[in-house]
Chain A
Amino acid sequence: MKGNSMAIDRRKFIKGGLLATGAAMTSPAVFSSGAQAAGEIKVGVLFSLTGGLSIVEKSLHDATMMAISEINEKGGVNGMKITAVAEDGASDPKTFNEKASKLVIQDRVPTVFGCYTSASRKAVLPVFEKRHNLLFYPTYYEGFECSKNVVYTGAVPNQQLSNFIPWIIKTLGKKKFFIVGSNYIYPREMAKVSKILIEKNGGQWIADEYLELGHSEWGSMVNKIKNSGCDVVLSNVVGDSVVAFYREFKNQGLTHDKLPICATVTSEIEIAAMGPEYAVGSYTSFPYFQAIDTPANKDFVARYRKFVNDPKAVTHHALECSYFQVYLWKQAVEKAGKATPEAIVANIGGQSFDAPGGKVTVEAQNLHTALTPRIAQWQADGQGKIVNAYDQPVFPLPYVAYGETESNLFCTAKGLDSAKLKL
């Protein structure tokens, strides 16, 4: 441990040196472009506009831009306009890393809104942590992260599963789970949390299977599901694979009324792409659905469709988070009175906002967001009918798979308490 603390001291020393050389080397031209001109705040927006992931990330980009333009129309932040510097992550962690350092070091934005996959977040994280900047991350993810340089506004496993699994067992009366997911960390963590909850609620899981990300050949897997004797499928399948999965499911003669797919990732996007007839009767757990029946949400959907000039555009959970997180950021900047990463982080905790899907609050302890878990059943019109919802937002627990509870937090304002992290 001694060696480590010395290393950190050395690192601080080097950083001081870096700042000094950096300042000495920087030309005046760079200063004027990077520093904040009076009357505007530059922020970074970093999603994939090209490549495979743009199918989702383009919509997150659009939602972020919409929030920014709305705020600007209403007078900006503290009287200053927000200027978005939008970059393309090109669905490639290498590009994400490069563009993040451009935004943070060259453009000197105090905050970047961006990233969809965990892989891209992990690739940009060192830039934000070591350069003391701030990332607003709008996607549901696997948890197990306690960074003071990231504000997480999407759901963590306990906000998608803590109501879902007991509900499946008690209300649907299903007890034998077939867990299937894409082969990476989010589905595996979701499976881990699910298994804990399934066993606690008196159910059992009979299989835990994975497919390559982007895999669209479901013949064998669905055949396996059919012959497994399960009575419910818990799907953590991500991205374009989802469409092929639901289609194959129906095409092999399985029906959601006998053997429902209960999903944690299937959103309005995938339902629209597969055709609702393949999903009717299946369930998804998310804090937000397009069908949430409030005036605020209907207005939000209408504005979004107008903004992207597509009367059939759908809204979904990560999109909603991309939208409201800009407003949370705005409130923090207003409270701080200045737009530096340190000031924003110091003031983001406790910020609440009436998002399209209801009230959301950033928890000061772990910089994750309290959201309201909901369960929806997919209908023939491609919309989710909310069949179950918490009456209030649920506290985010990024380490729930390792025994974290609201009264025993692992990730606090002081950082991660690693002593609690035992397997």
Chain B
Amino acid sequence: MLSKRHTIWAIYAVFIVLTMAAPLVMDSFWLNRVAKYLVYGMLGIAVALSWGYAGILNLGQGLFFGAGAYMLAMSLKLASATSLQQGSDKPVPDFMMWNAEPGAPTELCCINKASFLWLPFQSQWFGVLMGLVVPMAIAGVIGTIVFRKRISGVFVSIITLAVVLLVRLVVIDAQPITNGFNGLTDLGWLNVGGFEFDPYVVQTYYLVAISLAVVLIGTRLLVETRAGLILQAIRDDENRVRYLGFDVPTYQTFFFAVSALIAGFAGMLYVVVSEFASPTFLDLQFSITMVVWAAVGGRASILGACLGAILINTISATVSETAGFAEGWKVVIGLVFVLVVLYLPRGLAGIAHDLLDRLRRRTPADTVRVGDATGASQLAE
């Protein structure tokens, strides 16, 4: 009989095979749509890693998603045909003309005071690199400050929430270089070795699906490492781990940054499949919504959170496109949220684990422990 660990890996394999086989049965619209949901699934993984494994509920995950998205979108904006139609030989984003002072030179270097920041993004690979580095760096800074001060639980959530709202405000206000509320639109396509990733071709789907598989397996392996186990120990009892001599903030910051990296990567892929980046990525609603995806799928399960994201989005799309539900679909979503939290606190993954255990005739004692790692202790203090 297979061990539980093997069974879980088998389920991962089934999921990955299914995503790889999707192009056999789907038309180009559904491929693109599923690619978007796989990107959301990747966000679910990021949430599960920080919430389920590190006990850090980040209510500002959208910040990292948005940072990744904007970095790549800047490069793709410069690669778009319209950027070359602004009366200059070199690319200038069309929106920069809007807020420019009359008589300003139509050059990227100096059309406004901050436009020089865009210069290195003429190289697409610089954009890709920044899309990974910037979210990680932001998370590193936040993590270092917050975790060194031993801030935990709901206070981390409030800080991340305030940070994402602050950044959103700045991005919308810095219109000359961010295009404000409209975001970066009218982008070129990602170009790898001469191949352009049109969002509706099967190659783009595979770019997303393979990326997801890599992130999924990578994250799973990561939490099984020694560091991953220490992280879970920190989640369950921070002080005990500290007394054992481990440098708790370093572990927390590291995994917080990895979670940010995954979210940033997801943001970049989203730009590839949707062809825009928008400050709505930084909306509070979006950040909370992705936490709910993870809760539905199972916050302490990497694959569960990923599936939760895919499932909720599929339900939303299907219900909202059912005749008569165009206005009512959100009721269904709201109900699902409430019912899952009430009756399935461990999400779908919880059911799956119980089922597995029952099949293997074991008591469910060794299932993954999901406490609200923060709530109870917070209150007691």
Contact = CB atoms under 8 A, between A and B. Distances in A.
A–B proximity contact (CB within 8 A):
yes
Nearest to A15: B198
A17 B202 CA distance: 11
Interface in A106-129: 106, 118-119, 122-123, 125-127, 129
A15 B320 CA distance: 30
Given A1-B89, A18-B201, A122 B186 contact: yes
B235 interface: no
Contacts of B215: none
Contact of B327 (A17, A18, A50, A101): A50
A192 B100 CA distance: 10
A21 B194 CA distance: 20
Looking at B27, B84, B187, which has the most chain A CB atoms within 10 Å of its CB?
Answer: B27
Nearest to B26: A25
Contacts of A217: none
B103 interface: yes
Contact of B326 (A86, A92, A98, A423): A86
B172 A183 contact: yes
Interface stretch (B7-15, B225-233, B274-282, B345-353): B274-282
A213 B276 CA distance: 20
A142 B275 CA distance: 22
Contacts of A90: 320, 330
B86 A418 contact: yes
Interface in B17-38: 23, 26-30, 32-33, 36
B94 A105 contact: no
Interface stretch (A3-11, A159-167, A373-381): A3-11
Taking residues whose C-beta sits less than 8 angstroms from the other chain, chain A's interface range is 35 or more
B27 A22 contact: yes
B317 interface: yes
A417 to B, nearest CB: 9
A184 B97 contact: no
Interface string B131-171: 00000000000000000000000000000000000000100
A87 B36 contact: no
A118 B182 contact: yes
Contacts of A17: 201
A86 B85 CA distance: 35
Contacts of A423: 97, 100-104, 106
Nearest to B179: A185
B173 interface: yes
A184 B326 CA distance: 29
B97 to A, nearest CB: 7
Given A88-B327, A119-B182, A122-B185, A102 B278 contact: no
Contact of B106 (A97, A126, A422): A422
Contacts of A130: 198, 275
B201 A21 contact: yes
A341 interface: no
Contacts of B94: 144
Contact of B87 (A127, A131, A422): A422
Contacts of B317: 98
A27 interface: yes
Contact of B201 (A14, A50, A92, A142): A14
Contact of B28 (A22, A142, A189): A22
Interface string B72-88: 00000000010011110
Contacts of A142: 98
Interface of A: 1, 4, 7-8, 10-11, 14-15, 17-18, 21-22, 25-27, 30, 49-50, 86-88, 90, 92-94, 97-98, 101-102, 105-106, 118-119, 122-123, 125-127, 129-131, 142, 144, 183-185, 188-189, 192, 212-213, 402, 416, 418-423
19 contacts: A1-B84, A15-B198, A22-B27, A22-B28, A25-B27, A49-B326, A49-B327, A50-B329, A86-B326, A88-B327, A93-B183, A123-B185, A123-B276, A144-B98, A183-B172, A192-B98, A213-B172, A423-B103, A423-B104
Given A98-B33, A123-B276, 17 more contacts: A7-B188, A21-B28, A25-B26, A87-B326, A92-B280, A97-B275, A98-B36, A98-B274, A101-B29, A144-B98, A183-B172, A184-B175, A188-B99, A212-B172, A422-B106, A423-B97, A423-B100
